[in-house]
Structure formats: structure tokens, C-alpha cells
Structure 1
Amino acid sequence: MKRLLAFGLSLLLAFGAANGILAQEHDKFEVGQGTFLLNGKPFVIKAAEVHYPRIPEPYWEHRIEMCKALGMNTLCLYVFWNLHEPSPGQFDFSGNNDIARFCRLAQKHGMYVIVRPGPYVCAEWEMGGLPWWLLKKDDVRLRTLDPYYMERVGIFMKEVGRQLADLQVSRGGNIIMVQVENEYGSYGTDKPYVSAIRDLVRASGFTDVPLFQCDWSSNFTNNALDDLLWTVNFGTGANIDEQFRKLKSLRPDTPLMCSEFWSGWFDHWGRKHETRDAATMVSGIKDMLDRGISFSLYMTHGGTTFGWWGGANNPAYSAMCSSYDYDAPISEAGWTTRKYFKLRDLLQSYLPAGETLSEPPAPIPVIEVPAITRWQVAPLFDNLPAPKQTEDIRPMEQFDQGWGTILYRTTLKDDISGTLHIDEVHDWAQVFADGRLLGRLDRRQGEFTLPLKGTLKKGTRLDILVEAMGRVNFDKSIHDRKGITRRVEVLSGDTARELKGWTVYNLPPFHDFVSHRNYRPGKADGMPAYYRATFKLDRPGDTFLDMRTWGKGMVWVNGHALGRFWEIGPQQTLYMPGCWLKKGENEIIVLDLKGPAETCVAGLATPILDQLRVKAPETHRKDGQNLKLDGETPVHTGTFASGNGWQEVKFDHPVEGRFFCLDATSNYDGSNIAAIAELDVLGADGKPLSREHWTVVYADSEETRSGNRTADKVYDLQESTFWQTVDNTAYPHQLVIDLGRNCRVTGFRMLPRAEAGAPGQVKDYRIYVKAKDFAY
């Protein structure tokens, strides 16, 4: 009996040790003096940011092993509210949404986890992770103490706690820290709101590990709570000492952590593919490790924003590509890269003597798929669902639709001529009269009007087909309703006549919907249509679907929504995980809203992420255009101080105007380059004006050869992006911004680049403000 009991006890101990469920085996993670402490010993967090929904669930373990072999000891991950609660009260934590399983897989491989449950996460994700159905309430105020919003946050956070609270290290799991909200200083100043979110996080069960909040070095004090750990986010090349200078002065004994060290950047439709230098990234991580600073590399593996989950920036509106490769050390398909091995070599050198890193797992096999050319077609206008009726135009959300495409249809009651004004298109529209295409409108370009050629007769069927390209995931613009948000009117002379009496058709992006259209042999003749085909495989494997002959739309394979495509690029292929393919017959469905040049899809062995096909000019200066400031009187002349960080300038007296001109006459480093990361214009109250409707009227020079360094970067709300002039164009350099309306201007704020020495920092300058545009 004693032998049997001893054997049973040994089994229990072994099981408990393997699964971390015995009290004496539990870890303790805490904030120490100048360092994090794991079981009482100093611990430097080397975290890999990865997002479970951007990785197919069968590949989770592969990507975790890749991070482990890189030299990371922790995984950092957001929790995506809109993914887990697609409709109010309906939660999904299964399959690819099973975040608890992801955490347990990380623990299996000896890795800790930092959880970032939001409720807002940004992440270039649809609406920053907030559910679209919040927008069905017209007066909802997101990310505030709005009662309805906070009620729903509480319900969601409680569900997150049910999934993850028992995985804290003190309870045998591997969660060592939990974040409160996300970069709230870039949204507003509201400590009571941030405090309320903190309380909900604690109430959900996260009471055993440190809670922290992350922000930028320029704004972290706006909402900093005394009882939370403070961390800072910044990108590769940033001046490390400068980024932590203020935090160290306020909390000299706190552990330092860069909670998002940006390894690359994300891609936008119609803009060049983004990359960041590998050596610069590794150098920044070395600088932090040498100072004992913890970090999370955002992203270590970006993956893919499958389906309709891609977000958008604003201002100016710009939707994200489906690939979230991010120029990260681990590629979109899970491959090692030059960045991977340079970083791995560095992290290996910081291991204790005698320890070595495990070898990276083998990559997933790749296959090529012969061209698929035999398709059946279901023209969109011939396959409409049951209609809904409304007298007035309303946004998509009011018709209980979250994503996809929506068709607004009316029959003209009178002849119309002039200009069709759609207020506002969110985000890409095609206008048809009796099935004939009249034109297309693109929110990215600020296109909301369509001149009518001739007269549309009474009885004409007017169709406006609007595709939702992704809700804004940053700043106040997250209140981003889709479809047509206000009205449709006809402008003729000084009159505006609103069109009424609409029939609405919801066209969601779900496989159950697109697979049940009436497919038949034939063609769609350039009109919006669904296409379906089958293809056979001898063996499955990863591949990249070549969409270069198609126009604009979305792809589904075997029921999985792969993402969006758009001929303009830069992304021309869609990552097709082999785990979603099967030996034998496979199904592919393509929705092309614009119409293909050729109905052909092949599976390539390598992706195409950097092929831009846009005819629009890359810069904000027309050929031969030169700003004329002769005879203009500056409202302010000054000299910026040398160094990193925001600088604020107040005018001697307020001025009225709509057009703001910065005329930079010299810089500090003696080069030809001018560079500015962010620019605020101060209003009558001394606070920054909204940038929502700003546009660049003129920039004398913009660097578009080596990166997306156009002038609109000064108001994109991203401190790590910047306007930069080309290196062969001498000073002076000018930038003219249309503020969107006449304003009372009292000054401005300027942020140089974040790198040490602030490359290209402007020294001497003149400011002009006018009610009317300048002469060119």
C-alpha cells in the first residue's frame, strides 16, 4: 500500500510540475527596484509580439517555436474584442480564437505571456478591436465613460477573465503582466476613464500580476496612474536615452520597458511597401539590453490580417493591406529572414555562459498551384438578397451589417443634372445608372462628388455600391460608420436636392453568403460579380495566390476568407496557408467589384508585396509649381532648439486663416534635408486643432524613393513616421497645409525625428497664415 501511495504521489507531483498546478511550483513575477523580478531574481523581458488571429491555429506552435529559437522569453499579445464578440452577448473563444490554448502552447515551450486586453488595441485592426455594433447607437462615445460603452466593456472584460485569469503565473500559468487600455495618451486625457478600465481589468480576475499602461514618451504622463507600471513605445532608430529620460526623472527606481519597439511598419493600399533597416533594429535592442531595459518587439511575426479585419488610418483615410508582414524578423509565412538571424545572433550573445538557443523549426512546405482558369460566375446585381426599405440614406450599421459591401438603390422621381454629392462615401463607391457605370469615388482621395454627364431621366434606376474598406483604428476617427453616412444630393447651381426613397441590399463577406449565389458558366462583362472554381492538389502546402489580373475584392478558399486584394498594390498576392488546403478538390471564390482583366489565379512560391501600380502622383507638388512668398508677411519668425522632443511656439498675437505655411530656411546638420515627424496647429484655446480635414496643398520636396516620407506624415498621428525632403534639393523647404476651415491660430507644435541627433531637424523658419491659398 505504501509503495502504491508513493507511486501515486510521484505521478501527481510529475503531473503538477508539468502543468504548473501545485502551489510550491508557481512562479512569482513582480516589479522590483530598477528591475523586474521573477521568483525574486532580476528578469529582463525579451518579448515577441504576435497576434493569434493573424496566424492559422494549426501553425500556432510553429510560430511560438520560431520566437523561442530567436531568443525571446515572452510572447506579447492583444485580445481582439470584435473578434470574440461579433454580436452583443455572443462570445467565441474557439478554434482560431482560443487565446487560452495559445497561452498554454507558449507555456509548453517555456515562454511567458503579456496580455493586452484593451478594450481598444489599435493593431491596424478593424476599429482598433472595438465591435462595430457599438456604432448602432448614434450617440455612443467610444473610449470614454459613456455608460453604454462602459457597460459593454465590463461584460467583455469579464469574459476575458474567465478565459485567462487562471493562467497568471501565481496560479500555475504563464501570464506575467496585463495591460490597461492602450496608448490612451494619443487619444485624450481622461484619468477617470483609464482608472475605470483598470478597475474592470482587476475585477475580471487579473489581481496577481503587475498591471501596466503604455504610451509614447511625449504623452505618457497625460493619463499615468500612480498604481500602474509605466512603459514607453517607440520605433527602430529612436534615441533610447531620450525616450526614457522623462520616465526616469519621475520614477528613478522603476524597471524600464519599451512595450512596443517597432521592427518595421504596416502597408497601405496605394502606397509603397514599408521596410525598416535590420542593423538599426538590432542596434536599438542592444542599446536596451546593455542598459537592462526590457522590450517587446512589435512585430516579431506580423502574419496576415485575414478576411475583413484590416483597419485604416485617418487623417488622411488610408486602409491597410491584408498582409501584415510588417517587415518583421519572421515573415508573413513564418520564414526566417536576415533580420531574424541578425537579432538571433545578438540575443545569443546575452545568454548565460554555456547556454545556446534551439534551432528554428523547419519552414512549412511551399507548393505552386497551376493557373485556375475555369470559372463560374454570379453577377452581383443578379444575385441580390432580400431588400430593406428606407426613406433616408443611413449608414451600414443601421441595417445591422458590420462588414462587406452595401447597395443603395433608388428610382429617380424627376430628371436630374449637375453633380451628384455623396456625403460621405465610406469607403469606395461605384455609381450606376440603369446598370451603366457612371464613375467611382475613393475616400482615400477625398472623392465625394461625381459630375453627371448630361441628364438622368425620370425613372432611371440609380445604384450606389459601397465597399467598406476597414474602420479607422486610431484616434477619434474610430467612430467610423460605413456605407453612406449622411445623404445623397444633386447639386445644380446654388441648389441642393436630396434624393429619398432607397432600397438597400446587404452584401456581407461571409462564406455562407457568397457560396450561395447562383453561379453559372459565362462572363460578367466588367460588372461586379462573384466567381467560383475548383482546383485539385496532389498535396497541400503554403502558397501565394497571384491576384495581379483581378481588380478589387476578396477571396475565400475552402470557406476561409483570405483577405482583400486591389490591383493598385503594393500587395499583389494573398497568403494561402497550406493547413487550409486539402489533397484532392478545393474550392475558391473571388468577389471582384471592379472586374478582372483576366480570370486567372495561380499559386506562387513567393509573395509579391511591393508592386505598386498607381498612376496618381506620389508627391504634393505639381510639375513646375513653385510657392511664391514674395510680398507675403510672416506671422512669426523663429529658431527651433536643437534636439529631440516636441517644441511649442506661441505667436505674439492670434491670427485668422485657413492655410498654414512653414518655410524652413536652415537646419542643424548642414545637409539639404528637412524632416518633421508631427505638426500641431494651436487654436484659440491654445490646444491643437483637429487634423480630421487637413490636406497638404504643397510641399516643395518629398522623399518617396527610399520610403513613404510624404508631407502628410506630419499629421498622420504617428510619431515614428515623418516628412522628409530629398537630399539633392537645397533649402529653403516649404510646406502648406489647408486646415479645412478658417481658424483662429495662436501658435503651433513641432516634433523632429526620434533618432539621436534628430536628422534633418529644421533650425530657422518662418510661418505664414492666410485665409486664401498662396500663389504658385
Structure 2
Amino acid sequence: MKNLLSIGLSALLALGAVTGFSSCAEKQISTFEVGKGTFLLNGEPMVVKAAEVHYPRIPEPYWEQRILSCKALGMNTLCLYVFWNLHEQEEGKFDFSGNKDIAAFCRLAQKHGMYVIVRPGPYVCAEWEMGGLPWWLLKKQDIQLRSLDPYYMERVKIFMKEVGKQLADLQISRGGNIIMVQVENEFGSYGTDKAYVSAIRDIVKEAGFTDVPLFQCDWSSNFTNNALDDLLWTVNFGTGANIEEQFKKLKELRPETPLMCSEFWSGWFDHWGRKHETRDAATMVSGIKDMLDRNISFSLYMTHGGTTFGWWGGANNPAYSAMCSSYDYDAPISEAGWTTPKYFQLRELLQQYAPEGTTLPEPPAAFPVIEVPAITKWEVAPLFGNLPEPKQTETIKPMEQFDQGWGSILYRTTLKENVSGVLHIDEVHDWAQVFADGKLLGRLDRRHGEFSLPLKSALKKGTQLDILVEAMGRVNFDKSIHDRKGITNKVEVISGDKATELTDWKVYNLPPFYEFVSAKKYQSGNAVDGPAYYRAKFHLDKTGDTFLDMQTWGKGMVWVNGHAMGRFWEIGPQQTLYMPGCWLKEGENEIIVLDLKGPSEAKVEGLTKPILDMLREKAPETHRQDGQNLNLKSETAVHKGTFAQGNGWQEVKFDTPVSGRYFCLNALSNYEGNNIASIAEFDVLGADGKPVSRENWKIVYADSEETRSGNRTADKIFDLQESTFWQTVDNTAYPHQVVIDLGKEYRVTGFRMLPRAEKNVPGLIRDYAVYVKKDNFKY
């Protein structure tokens, strides 16, 4: 590495037996730098073994227990994001107190001999609402996030300066424990703009982070897109990945740089309506051993995932899919802070790499767990009978334009004439219920691309039309982070060739804050049919962690003793909400439930174990209807070829471009001689030879999709996640087809395909044929 990043301060640190860090009360000045092929701590080689944990996903009273669990696992460092939208929920108002006190978290880590890697963004992803960016940025109509947009950069600079006030003096050279700071986050998966990344680097430095190495992380397939000469380069990948292949290009470009996997994905996150995600423990441990044997540093994402409390869960797009509140992640330390079999398998390995003659400390005890008897006596406040004062608007506007960031929003109008046909909402973000004079007409779900509701009968002039929209989490990845909520454009009634836009709306803001939901007119009564708030008191003789069973409820949120616990949805897979005992009280406690749909039974009890894998989604899991078979006999392939063996992207250019909207890849064989076909990511190349937008892609057919052992449906080929993949079932023979609706017609010049990341590239397609048509195929 030509330009070594060096921190020139020197002093002596008394090294701890396991972590190499002293927990002495007085400040001890140290150095951490990038050396030749290794990191250097006070001039001595160091392999960073980092545990990714997120302070807001852990109750503040439990921080210490989680930190000690990471230390007992064999880690020497904690890695954490800084969540901008958590700290600046209103423009110009910063909060670093309580569960947001990131400096206190770092000092607590230092107390227990742990270093810290800080990742301040400004964008963080993390399956967090809008990737950590504040919602109020979207009030500016033409804002371009993650760019040199003047307003965006102005606010980034202000935020980063505040972060610097909290953390800059905790750099290791100033007596703290921060050893590295990240610049932006996986920007190569968003765009190519070195000028922007350079500007963020400068802002990070101006905030005071000048004493430790700055680094940027990306995937091995795109890290060169924005790589800056004066930053350390690291790569992210998941369990099972081919370690040699992941670092191949980096070693070619910087043969003397220390190598680090800045995110080694231990598991994966859960989406509403999809199966619970898990990853194999032995495969994870094997990958970490491979890296340690090569002197490669790593950060295990996640070592402890925790809980995305309240409304902070994000979403992916395309296709839109919101995250569950549980961020268990199948991590070694469970959502409730329990050590798991995966934890002890990894601990056994890391003990072998501890300093000679040392033994890892024992993990701290888990917190007590209690049962809570069923809560069945409620006071009820129907939502429509407890509306706030409305705001008036002639035309539809998204939630942000009414100065609302999260929660639900009600749009109400009185029809000026009789209407019939189809009610079209452009667009629903994210889950809507439509009422006429209080009667439910239907529901629309953005996950399924539902934006139109056929009116079974005409609605008369004077009818009160209500559209209640729940914001389920802003997209946290790729261009769709510009994700405005509510209704984003307009509402119209389509009858034949005529479209009539509805106007003159009253708008009711329904935020998810405890102060708002608690100030309703609650009255004793039974469950109601429709949206309502429910409040109850329950008594505890002792406190402890528990899991609130929400199986009999529809869809909504829960608050306990003023704490926003998270979302529930009957479809699963998550059916319980983690309830930390530190937020409960001996004696009387309060619970409030907002159910937008309505419960089958108004009952909540506290269980001793979570339910994270009960899926009750009625929608089909696959993209092939019963009895449906793709017919290609009369079709002419626009290209035939053979994929090369090995990992990494493969690009194919057609001899002659072809126009079409429907793209079919017909896989004819693979290299293993079995029935499996698999693809991690896929791009279609447009007239300019560059990938076309995947924003509106849909899978219209896939002959086979594995859903027994994981979420391996065909839409994974364009979910922007290189560690997820489409895979066919093992008892369905070749050929295998997948048909993509590109959303509109393109001049197609070729495509790109990314196989799975494992060393043996399972399911790698060998021979194939491609078909492109303007109209859909025959089945």
C-alpha cells in the first residue's frame, strides 16, 4: 500500500489479557494505525475482531450485559452505526441522551476493555428507517439524497459536527477507545460519485475525526467505484462466501494493505410476510476461521441484533418489503441477549485465537424471564371517534408535506358527484384501508403493488370517502430511499377512458408517539370492528423480560409504560414483541395497542420464549400458478451461450439489440450435474450498455423456487442484496426459467449475472438461452 495511513502519536498502553486494552480509570494515550499487511496497536500487530451492535436496539440498562457478552465471545472491538434520524428527529433539534447517548455507550465499552469502530454515515442502511437519514429532508421536493445537493450537504455537515462533539475526544490517541471511523456506507451499491464521497470524508475530518484511520466499506464487486486513495478499503460479504475471491481484487490493487471484512453477515433480517431467516452456524465459524488464519480482521454483523423498537424499521425495494421489529438476525447473541449454540461454537473457535495462556471470561448471566397472565380487560378508543384537528388541502400531498414523519395519516373528502369504476391511488405508501361513510371497501398493500380498488357499486354524491394509510418504514437501500409516505401523488376514479381526480381533502395526522396515543377518550368496552386504540392496566409482583404474544391481533403498534415496543402484523413471521424487564414495574403497568385492522380477540399475554417463525401470509410463496407451464416452443432465442465457471459478475452482450418488456432466461444445464439453478443478482443492459432501472421489475414466472429451507424466490435476483439468491428445488429437473417484467419496453443490448458467492458456486448455470418479447410469453 503506497500511502500508509499513519497516526504519529505514541505512548504505552498496558494491554489487557484478552482484548489488548486496559480498563484503567485514567486516560492512557495510545496509537492505532494501518501498517504493512496488518493493523498496528502501539506499533504491535493486531487483528480486529469486532462485534457489530447497535445502541438504540438495546435498552440502555442492558448495554453493559451485551458488551460483556461480546467480550466473553472473544471479540476485542465493538462496531456501531450512528443513526442520524434518531438524534435529529426534528430539524435542528439534537438529542444524545438516554438510549441515544452514544458517548456513554463508547465509554462503557472502554470500561470493559473494548475498542470501538464508529460508522457515522450519514447514511447507514442497517434495515433502519430511511437508512438513518431524517424524514424531514423529504420536505424539500427536489432533494437528491446521498449527493452534493447543497441543502443535503449543509445538513450532513451540521449533523457530523454534532457527532464530533460527542465522540471526537474518544479517539484512542486522545485517551479514548475509538480506533477507526467509516466514511459513508456501501456507496458503491448506490452510485458512482467520488466527489461526493470525498466531500463526506472532508466533513468527517472537519468534525474532529483526524487521529484514527478513516475507511470505506463496499462489496468486492463494486468497491473500486468510489475508492479514495487516502482511505482504507474494506469489503462486506456473508457467511459461506469464497474468502479468497472476495479479497482478490483488493490484494491486486493494494498488496500491502491490511485486509478486513467490515461486515461478515452472521444471519439475515426478517420481512413481514416472508419466512424467518437463519444462517448455518458451522458455515459462519468456518468463514471466520478462514479469515483469522489469513490474518484478516473482521466485524461480525450482527453479533447481537436486538430490537428495532417503535417505528424505526426500514424496508427494501424492489419489491417493497418492510422489516419486522425483531432484529434477532439469527445472531450469536439473541434478540433478548441470550447466548445461543451459534455463540458457543464461535466462542470455542475464538478461544483458540486468544493471546497465549489466556482464557475468555464467562458470559454474563441472562436477565430473568417472566410470564405475564393474559390481559383481557380493555378500554377502547375508536380511531375515527378520536381524530385530531384536520388540515385542509385542495390536492393530495404526501405525509411529509403535513409535517409528519411516521405513523398513519387519514385523507378524507366528500364526493361532489356520483362515481363508479376503479378508485386509483397514486401511490399508496404503504398499507391503506378505504372506507365509504365508515364502511370498509377494501385494503391496498404496497408489497403486492396494489394501488387500485374496483368499486363494487357506485358511490353517491355526498359520500364521505376515507383513505387511512399506514407508513410501514421508509426504504433503507438504493435509490428508493426517496420514499415519501401516505399518498404520494393523487387519487382518481377511473371509469372507462375517463379519469377524475378527487380534490378538497381534510388530512388528519396520526403520529406514533405515546403522548398522542395516550390522550384519547378511552371507555370500557369490547373489541370494535375497525381501527381503534386499546388501553389496559396490568399488575406485576416481579419484573423480568417477556415476549408479548400478539397472535390474536390484526396490524398495528404497541406501547408499554410509555415505551414504543414495535409493530405487529398477523401475517408474521414475528408474532411476539420483545418486552425488556427494565421497562416494566412492580405493581401497575400500562399497555396501549393500536390495531388498524381489528383483533380476533383482544388479549395479550407475556411468554417466556419468542415466536419469530410463524408465517400466516395467505399470498402465494412462489411466482408460478398451479398448472402453469411456460411455452417456448414457438419462441426464438435472441441469444444462446455458456456461463464461465467461478464467482463474480459475468456480462453478456447481444450481437444484435432487441426491443422488449419481458425478459426470459432459460437455464439448460449446470456445472454440477444436478437439478439446482441459482442466481444472486441480475441486470438487464439498455441501449447505452448500462443496467436499466430495476425499480418496477416484477417476476411473472419462475418454474421452480426453493421456499422450504429459506426465502429463495426468484425476486431475489433483483433485491440488491448479493448474499440472497434465487434457487430452484432439488427435485425439479432442468431446464429452469425465470421471466421478468421490466416495467416498460427497453432496447436491450445484453445482461449481467452474478452467481452465488460460495467457493464452489452451487447452482451455477452452464448453458442457457435468452428470450425478449414486447408482450408476455404464453403459459
Aligning the two structures, in what range does the TM-score lie when normalised by the shorter sequence? over 0.9
Residue equivalent to 1:401:
404
Q: Give the equivalent residue in structure 2 for 1:556.
A: 559
| 1:250 corresponds to which of 248, 253, 260 | 253
The DSSP-based 3-state class of the residue aligned with 1:772 is: coil
**In the alignment, structure 1 residue 499 sits paired with structure 2 residue 502:** yes
| Alignment partners' CA distance in 1, 2:25 and 2:170 | 10
Structure 2 equivalent of residue 3 of structure 1: none
Query: Whole-Å Cα distance in 1 between the matches of residues 656 and 216 of structure 2?
Result: 38
Structure 2 gap ranges (5+):
1-21
Question: Deviation at 1:521?
Answer: 1.1
Q: Match for 2:746 among 738, 743, 752?
A: 743
Where does residue 425 of structure 2 map in the other structure?
A: 422
**Residues of 2 paired with 1:33 and 1:525: CA distance?**
68
Aligned CA-pair RMSD: 0.9
Distance 2:228 2:724 in 1: 28
TM-score, normalization by structure 1: 0.97
Q: Whole-Å Cα distance in 1 between the matches of residues 26 and 210 of structure 2?
A: 18
Q: Where in structure 2 are the equivalents of 1:658-673 lying within 5 Å? A: 658-673=661-676
1:761 corresponds to which letter in structure 2? L
Residue of structure 2 in register with 1:480 after alignment: 483
**Structure 1 residue 525, shift from structure 2 partner:** 2.7
Q: Name the CA shift for 1:18/1:638 in 2 (closer, same or farther; >3 Å).
A: closer
SS at match of 1:743: strand
Matched, 1:106 2:139: no
* Contact 2:566–2:577 (8 Å) recurs in 1: yes
Give me the TM-score of the superposition, normalised by structure 2: 0.97
Matched, 1:584 2:569: no
Contact map agreement 1:216 1:233 (CA 8 A) in 2: yes
Structure 2 counterpart of 1:278: 281
CA apart distance, 1:135 = 0.1
Which residue number corresponds to residue 392 of structure 1?
395
2:58, 2:342 → 1: CA distance?
20
SS of the aligned residue for 1:472 comes to coil
User: Is the Cα–Cα contact under 8 Å of residues 20 and 26 in structure 1 kept in the other structure?
Assistant: no
Deviation at 1:757, TM superposition (A): 1.4
Give the corresponding residue for 1:344. Answer: 347
The 5 A counterparts of 1:101-500 are 101-500=104-503
Q: Structure 2: how far apart are the matches of 1:606 and 1:690?
A: 43
- Aligned residue number for residue 61 of structure 2: 58
**C-alpha separation between the residues in 2 aligned to 1:593 and 1:27?**
55
Give per-residue Cα distances to partners, 1:262-284, cap 9 Å, x unaligned.
00000000000000000000000
Amino acid at match of 2:97: S
Cα drift, residue 631 of structure 1: 1.5
Pairing partner for 1:87 from 61, 85, 90: 90
1:513 matched residue in structure 2: 516
Paired AA for residue 727 in structure 2: Q
Q: Distance in 2 between matches of 1:654 and 1:204?
A: 50
Cα offsets for 1:551-598 (capped at 9, x unmatched): 000000000000000000000000000000000000000000000000
Distance 1:352 1:78 in 2: 28
- The aligned amino acid for 1:674 is A
Deviation (angstroms), 1:504: 0.2
- Unaligned segments of structure 1, at least 5 residues: 1-16
CA contact (8 A) 2:382 2:528 kept: no
- Does the 8 Å contact 1:20/1:172 carry over to 2? no
Q: Whole-Å Cα distance in 2 between the matches of residues 351 and 130 of structure 1?
A: 38
Identify if the C-alpha distance between structure 1 residues 637 and 19 changes in structure 2 by more than 3 Å, giving closer, same or farther.
same
Q: What's the CA shift for 1:668?
A: 0.6
Compute the displacement of 1:412 (Å). 0.3
CA distances 1:252-300 after superposition (whole Å, capped 9, x unpaired): 0000000000000000000000000000000000000000000000000
In 2, Cα distance between equivalents of 1:18 and 1:639: 58
- State the Cα deviation string for residues 602-640 of structure 1 (Å, max 9, x = none): 000000000000111110000000000001111100000
Give me the whole-angstrom Cα distance separating, in 2, the residues matched to 1:507 and 1:615.
28
| Matched residue, 1:633 | 636
Number of residue equivalences: 759
**Paired amino acid for 2:179:** I
Indicate the SS of the match to 2:304: coil
CA separation of 1:296 and 1:460: change in aligned 2, threshold 3 A: same
Q: Which whole-Å CA distance do the structure 2 matches of 1:669 and 1:162 have between them?
A: 56
After superposition, give the CA deviation of every residue in 1:348-390 in whole Å (9 maximum; x if it has no partner). Answer: 0111221000000000000000000000000000000011000
**1:570 pairs with 2:568:** no
Aligned-pair distance for 1:462? Answer: 0.2
| 1:555/1:562 contact within 8 Å kept | yes
Per-residue deviation, residues 69-96 of structure 1 (Å, max 9, x unmatched): 0000000000000000001110000000
Residue equivalent to 1:651: 654
SS of the residue 1:124 aligns to:
coil
Counterpart position of 1:13: none
- Please tell me whether the aligned partners of residues 533 and 593 of structure 2 are also in contact (alpha carbons under 8 angstroms): yes
Deviations 1:25-82 (A, max 9, x none): 3110000000000000000000000000000000000000000000000000000000
| Contact 2:23–2:113 (CA under 8 A) maintained in structure 1 | no
Structure 2 residue corresponding to 1:615, chosen from 595, 615, 618:
618
2:357 aligned partner, one-letter code:
G
- 1:158 maps to amino acid: K
Tell me the distance in 1 between the aligned counterparts of 2:201 and 2:619.
46
**Is residue 303–residue 334 contact of structure 1 (8 Å, CA) maintained in 2?**
yes
Shift of 1:522: 1.7
Percent identity reads 82
Tell whether the 8 Å contact from 1:434 to 1:462 is kept in structure 2 after alignment.
Answer: yes
Secondary structure in 2 matching 1:486: strand
* Residue 21 (structure 1) shift: 5.3
Question: Counterparts of 2:662 and 2:356 in 1: how far apart (Å)?
Answer: 62
CA distance in structure 2 between the partners assigned to 1:323 and 1:91 by the alignment:
26
1:766 is paired with a residue of what secondary structure?
A: strand
Show the counterpart of 1:34.
37
Paired AA for residue 739 in structure 1: L
CA–CA distance in structure 2, aligned partners of residues 435 and 727 of structure 1: 50
Does the aligned pair in 2 maintain the 1:20–1:173 contact within 8 Å? no
Q: What SS does the corresponding residue of 2:524 show, helix, strand or coil? A: coil
CA contact (8 A) 2:638 2:772 kept: yes
The AA in structure 1 aligned to 2:266 is S
Aligned equivalents of 1:322, 1:351: Cα separation in 2: 35
Q: In structure 1, how many angstroms separate the alpha carbons of the residues matched to 2:729 and 2:473?
A: 32
Kept in 2, the 8 Å contact 1:21–1:171? The answer is no
2:447 aligns to what SS in structure 1?
A: helix
Say which SS state the counterpart of residue 245 (structure 1) adopts.
helix
Query: Quick one: distance in 1 between partners of 2:101 and 2:219?
Result: 31
Give me the whole-angstrom Cα distance separating, in 1, the residues matched to 2:526 and 2:414.
Answer: 27
Could you tell me which residue of structure 1 aligns to residue 3 of structure 2? none
Distance 1:418 1:577 in 2: 50
Q: From 709, 713, 716, give the equivalent of 1:713.
A: 716
Deviations 1:293-349 (A, max 9, x none): 000000000000000000000000000000000000000000000100000000001
Aligned residue identity for 2:567 = R
Does the Cα contact within 8 Å between 1:261 and 1:295 map onto a contact in 2?
yes
Q: Is the 8 A contact 2:685 2:691 kept in 1?
A: yes
Amino acid at match of 2:613: D
Distance 2:729 2:233 in 1: 37
